[in-house]
Chains A and B, each alone.
Chain A
Amino acid sequence: MRKIYLAKSFAGIAILLAAPLLVSAQQGEAHIGKLSGNAGAGKQLYYRYCWGCHGFRGDGNGENWLPTGSYASQPYLNIQPRNFVAATFKCRSTPTGTLPTDEDIYNSLGRGLTNSNMPSWITLTNQNRADLVAFIKTLSDRWKTDKAGAEINVPAEPAPTVQSIQHGKELFTKLECWKCHGPEGRGDGPSASTLTDSNDQPIRPYNFAGGSRFKCGTTNHDLYKIFMTGLDGTPMPSFADVIKPEDAWDIVHYLRTLQVSHKSPELALWEGTKEGAEIVKAQKVRGTPTGAGVNQ
């Protein structure tokens, strides 16, 4: 009789002890496909690899951003590391103003963010990155009150055609993408020099002529999501309410032709037309970075 009583009270204590653990376990989880991330494991990784830039509290004020000592006023980084406490993320598959999915953060860790100091963390295992996602989500209270936004619908991509590229070109002008990105997509539009991010740090619009990778990926699918969701925390707005899905693919196809140094089916199609060939030729940077071979 007494044994049963003891066993019962032990069970009661065990439940009481486990209750807060269960709650925190739910907050510190991440699910990416079959992977389940654990915040405890992610914490170890965070304080080994991430906190130098993202800070002890995850607020983006690591010592590489705010170095102490004689060079206190000169951060080593030119873009402030992501503030995980504010939980405003650039790369999302969810609408503007919503939290990203676990997979969005996971993909950013693996991919890195081009034109910033955030490297690709493919050296870590998939499990490591899933654990980090789980830990990052414990750094902001937003994950306790909000759920990730619903992923935007990306319809199947139609094959690029000259017509779709031309229509995309018209929309690029009509929607005034050029105000920031410039008429040739070089990131030199009339508003470009005035842009600041949400922390009042100067920020440059993407230069399409300069590379093959975008801030949030490399594929046409990624490009579609970039302008439909917007890059939160930056001047890049969401166009989800103003662009129809079929028009969005036309813009994707046109934007590819602005990447004049990156081979793509869209660029090949465009260069096959008289209009496109002339535009691409004019946009290609001639010569080498040292200046040799530049026609004087």
Chain B
Amino acid sequence: MPGKSKKVLLAVVVAISASMMTPARPSGGTVSGKITYEGTPAKQKPIDMSKEPTCAKQYTTPPTTETVVTGPNNALENVVVYISAGAPDEAAPSKAAVFTQKGCRYLPHVLAFQVNQELNVLNDDQTSHNIHPLAKINREWNKSQPPGSPPIVDKYDKAEMIPVKCNIHPWMHGTFAVLKNSHFAISGEDGSFTLPNLPPGKYTVTAFHESYGDQSQEVTISSSETKTVSFTFKAKPY
């Protein structure tokens, strides 16, 4: 008898823990897809960094501009894909978003983060940069950051796509994508993106590219399904 009751108890424990495990599995749906272009995108030019030798010497071949970055099979990189409507606004995560200036370029070229999330701007170079995010909805500021300076810490309280530039090094351009919720992704080398953990609902998915503007599509998630949403941008040769 005692042996049997032990077995029953074990079975109950297993059953309970199994039922408790279930919600831990991602229950929401997923939107995934691929960003492509059609037409001829502007040819990216090698950057002449000869006026900034400390940066130029970091490259064996000069890096190219990044206004349009493409991959194989017409893939379009650096596109911000996000839920622009249908998802509630979310509180900012505690982890800071990091934007690094290295080799007189911005890493990453496009940085997406949330409203009121801490932003840290680092200078890894042996030259001064000025960080000049050209905000229009948020406040525009412009700060100098000589080598060895501490990170510039800031945050934005409104959603906005903000072009960022360094006036000292005119080839340095980037984007801050300040978004209202955590459902965002940036398309990779193959143009793909994934927005996981979406609760059932009707959403507007928006794709933003710094040179080609934005596009939106509606998608309805009814259970833990995966919906494919793809965007094609018309490339301009100039």
A residues engaging B (CB < 8 A)? 86, 88, 95-98, 146, 174-176, 179-180, 190-191, 194-196, 198, 230, 232-242
**Chain B positions 140 through 181: 1 when the CB is less than 8 Å from some CB of chain A, otherwise 0:** 111111100110100000000000000111100000000000
* A236: B residues at CB distance < 8 A: 142
13 A-B interface contacts by CB (under 8 A): A98-B139, A174-B146, A175-B128, A176-B146, A190-B51, A195-B167, A196-B167, A230-B142, A236-B142, A237-B130, A238-B141, A241-B145, A242-B146
Instruction: Specify which of B142, B144, B152, B170 is in contact with A191 (CB 8 Å cutoff).
Output: B170
* B144: A residues at CB distance < 8 A: 175, 230, 237-239, 241-242
How many residues does chain B have at the interface if contact means C-beta atoms less than 8 Å apart? 23
Q: Do A238 and B128 touch (CB < 8 A)? A: no
- B95 interfacial by beta-carbon distance below 8 Å: no
Binding site of B, secondary structure by majority: helix, strand, loop or mixed?
loop
Q: Do B167 and A175 touch (CB < 8 A)? A: no
- B134 interfacial by beta-carbon distance below 8 Å: yes
The answer for the CA separation of A233 and B167 in the assembled complex, in Å, is 11
Within B106-131, which residues are at the interface with A (CB < 8 Å)? 127-128, 130-131
* A174: B residues at CB distance < 8 A: 146
Q: Do B146 and A96 touch (CB < 8 A)? A: no
Q: What's the least CB distance linking B32 to chain A, in Å? A: 36
Q: Do A176 and B128 touch (CB < 8 A)? A: yes
Extra contacts, 6 of them, besides A86-B136, A235-B130, A241-B144 (Cβ < 8 A), are A96-B141, A195-B170, A230-B141, A235-B168, A238-B142, A242-B146
Q: Do B146 and A175 touch (CB < 8 A)? A: yes
The answer for the CA separation of A255 and B66 in the assembled complex, in Å, is 37
The answer for the CA separation of A87 and B170 in the assembled complex, in Å, is 25
Top-7 shortest CB links A-B: A97-B141, A235-B167, A237-B130, A194-B170, A97-B139, A237-B144, A176-B128
* A176: B residues at CB distance < 8 A: 127-128, 146, 168
Q: Report if A179-B142 is in contact (Cβ < 8 Å); known contacts: A86-B136, A241-B152.
A: no
Q: Do A233 and B140 touch (CB < 8 A)? A: yes
Among residues of B, the one whose C-beta sits closest to the C-beta of A240 is B143
* A194: B residues at CB distance < 8 A: 170
Q: What's the least CB distance linking A218 to chain B, in Å? A: 23
- B132 interfacial by beta-carbon distance below 8 Å: yes
Q: Do A180 and B167 touch (CB < 8 A)? A: yes
The answer for the CA separation of A247 and B140 in the assembled complex, in Å, is 26
The answer for the CA separation of A180 and B143 in the assembled complex, in Å, is 15
Among residues of A, the one whose C-beta sits closest to the C-beta of B128 is A176
Among residues of B, the one whose C-beta sits closest to the C-beta of A234 is B142
